[in-house]
Structure formats: C-alpha cells, structure tokens
Amino acid sequence: MAGRPVHSFEVIRTEQPSAHLKRVVLGGAGFETFRPSEFTDSYVKVVFVRRGVDVAALPQPFTLDSFGALPDTDRPVIRTLTVRRVDPVAREIAIDVSVHGDHGTVGPWALGAQPGDPVYVMGPNGAYAPDPGADWHLLAGDESALPAIAAALEALPDGAVGKVFLEVAGPQDEIALTVPDGVEVHWLHRGGRADLVGQEQAGDNAPLVKAVTTAAWLPGQVQVFIHGEAQAVMHNLRPYVRKERGVDAAWASISGYWRRGRTEETFRQWKKELAAHEAAQAEMS
C-alpha cells in the first residue's frame, strides 16, 4: 500500500440507522482527489493517525509513504471499511460501521466522531456490481456486508429477481432497504453479537448458512454476492455455491470480511494462508 494517495476528509455529521449501526458522513477537500467507484462493494482504507502526529508536517504529496520516517509507535492504524453511498453532488461519503462495544479501533472512532474531525482515506476499491445479464441475484451476509448489499439492492433494475439473506443480532438491527418487487428479503436473528454468541449460532452453525443452503434455488443464471464471517462464508457457503450449485467464479463474489477471534492484521494473514493452501490443492488436483 506504500505510496498510495491519502485523501483528506472531515466528518460532516453522524447518523444512527439502527441500534448497532453508526453512519459517519464525510465531506471536505478530499473530493478534489477522490474518485467514486462504480462497484457496489466499494471500500476504502481509513488511515487512523496516531494522537500527537502532525499531519501537516508530513512530506507532501500526502501518501502512505509520508508516514515512512516515523517510529513504529507513531505509524497509523489502517482499517478497511465499506462505502455505503457516495453523493458527488453533495460531495459526501457515507460509511456505515457496525458498532459493538468500545473495543478495537473502528467502533470507538464511529461512536466518538464529531463534525470537523479529520478523516484520512485511501481508495476506493471494489470488484462487484449487479450484472444486468443475470437471471436472478443471491445476496447474503451479516452486519459487515450490510452496507454493500444495501448499495447493490439500490443498483438493481426495477424488474430484478432475487433472494437476500441478512443475519443480524435482532429486530433492532434491521434497516430500511430499497428493494425491487421481485426480490425477497429475509432477516435472520442470531440473538446476540456475532463475535460473542456461542458456537451453536456462529461459524458452521450460523443462521445464514442454514438459510442459504435450504433456500429454493431459482432457474437460470444466478449472480452471487456473499460476504461476512469467514468460517460461515468460506468454509460453508462458498463450497455450497461453487461446488454443489456449480456457480462459476465469474458469477460469484464470495469472501470473508472478518473472522471470529482475529484482528484485521491476523485475519489478513489467515486469508493469505488459505489462498496459498487452495492454490496448492488446485495444482495437485
């Protein structure tokens, strides 16, 4: 990521779409360099500058390299967050954060965000958008995938057909969605925080797994978007979609956004190890 441009925004306001969802709306000078993505799973890397670091004194132009001369203790923390919506006319970016407690980096930031706070962003990136050539759409995920799925639903044409499965803690975490008449939305309640519920409601036993694997499969070409907790998605839903249902990789965006018991850093390492293992298995087959 070294050398990537860092866009300088500021918090315009915050909103509370649901009990555990905090929306941080950004605006400001960053729009001079930020270019919105055409993908509905658009994401950015938020650069959380350490307290006491004077950004104005860092080498310009402002990139990740600007932090290179700082000691390790002053290096920024970087987290990946999905963009819920970009409004180029109002020059605003909305980022939805699923907040559970005051631990970690992102949750406390979203809870404490105040108008005028500086926010530093790299990106955007993305890889998925609804394909009008699909006969139907299957979208599924937990809270971490909710912003991308909500954006995808808004991008579907009026005549789209599909099924949506959204796993959240409870009814208080459901949000209003813009959905074509031909798309069914199913809210699944696990009964608690995704990182704290027992194994009987997580991983292999997550409500999302059962809901997707037992749902009626519609005829024609499906386009799939499934993201969320890695054990549920990568070890259960991806094999189901790709192997049992035979959906080609070109029509399937399936990945873990997070994994129970891991930070983003250790999760990234786990994903690298998983990819290397799968590549080795493919060579042997």
Lowest mean pLDDT among 51-60, 95-104, 247-256: 95-104
> What span, in angstroms and rounded, lies between the C-alpha atoms of 284 and 159?
44
Question: Confidence class of residue 275 from pLDDT cuts 50, 70 and 90?
Answer: low
Domain boundaries, the chain: 7-125, 136-283
Does pLDDT of 69 surpass 70? yes
The whole-model pTM stands at: 0.89
In percent, how much of the chain has pLDDT > 70? 90
| 136-283 and 7-125 share a CATH fold | no
C-beta of residue 224 within 8 angstroms of C-beta of residue 253: yes
Dig out the tokens for 254 from the structure: 């399936």
Dig out the tokens for 212 from the structure: 């997707």
Instruction: Kindly give, in sequence order, each residue whose CB lies less than 8 Å from that of residue 168, ignoring residues fewer than 6 positions away.
Output: 142, 143, 146, 174, 187, 188, 189, 190
The more confident residue out of 261 and 253 is 253
> What span, in angstroms and rounded, lies between the C-alpha atoms of 197 and 160?
35
Does pLDDT of 164 surpass 80? yes
Handedness of CA 80, 81, 87, 92 (dihedral sign): negative
- For the domain made up of 7-125, the CATH class stated in words is mainly beta
Query: Distance between terminal CA atoms of the chain?
Result: 34
Q: Would you give the distance in Å from CA 190 to the centre of its chain?
A: 19
Alpha-carbon distance values, 182 to 28, 131, 162, 188, 215 (Å): 38, 16, 6, 20, 16
Instruction: Kindly give, in sequence order, each residue whose CB lies less than 8 Å from that of residue 31, ignoring residues fewer than 6 positions away.
Output: 88, 91
Task: Look up tokens 């004194």; give the residue.
Answer: 57
CATH number for the region 136-283 comes to 3.40.50.80
